[in-house]
Amino acid sequence: MFSLVNKNAVITGAASGIGKAIALLFAKQGAKVHILDFNLQAAREVVTEIKANGGQATAHGCDVGDQAAMIAIFDQIGNTDILVNNAGIAQVGNLENTASADFNRVFKVNVEGAYNTMYAAIPYLKTNGGGCILNLASIAAHVGLLDRFAYSMSKGAIFAMTLSVARDYLHQNIRCNSISPARVHTPFVDGFIAKNYPGKEAEMFDKLSKSQPIGRMGSVDEIAALALYLCSDEAGFITGTDYPIDGGFLTLNN
């Protein structure tokens, strides 16, 4: 079950964190993985790791906010079966203390980046006779989170775009779903805590962990496992759906 043999999978932001875990798992399941990341050196290191374990992978340095560059990369990749839109950035602040430059930066990467990647991939998915798109949304698309104005905006857009693409390409056999994680322990989270709460890292890590009713953050491997299912043939009856993976945050955090 959940074999991706003979599948071409494109994953953005796959040089670290959730994207890297998805890339490693997809390669393990037989996919040829294309790792798209702003950090080309880190992407190449993931490729080396995949190949050392007998998998197939290629690294592509890219800025998802550049549509022409994304089109050129997909022209190079060609046949595409799976697209995972994982690349994204965060921003701390409410409406009043979110500067225009910060708002636009989040929009450029998180929203326009996903749009650009899907825009570049859709022609190849159609030519392929169908395929699967998986977008990384967030619980921030569904509930109000303190001081996450721009980030929540961007993830709400991801959720809405997922529904739109699922509807528009239903008859081209292209499925489109999204995943909405709560907090997941990644190097990004460690860096975020160190930057914003210096000297209080352990205290904030514990606090953020316990904000999930289950009492801990998710792991990147848990997110990757859900991504694998949704991108596999076994999930062929699923489209236009968002999947919270949140330790009970949305339903039990009362």
Nearest-10 crossing angle of helices 201-210, 187-196: 120
How far apart (Å, rounded) are the C-alpha atoms in residues 7 and 176? 16
Q: How far is CA 54 from the centre of its chain?
A: 24
Provide the 10 A C-beta neighbour count for residue 42: 17
How far apart (Å, rounded) are the C-alpha atoms in residues 72 and 64? 12
Strands 32-37 and 8-12, sheet pairing: parallel
Strand ranges, E, within 76-203: 82-85, 131-136, 174-181
Which is the catalytic residue, given 124, 151, 169, 229? 151
Q: Catalytic annotation on 151?
A: yes
**Tally of helices (H runs) and strands (E runs) in the chain:** 10, 7
Nearest-10 crossing angle of helices 67-77, 112-127: 30
Q: Which residues contact 198 (CB under 8 A, 6 or more apart)?
A: none
Please give the positions annotated as active site: 151
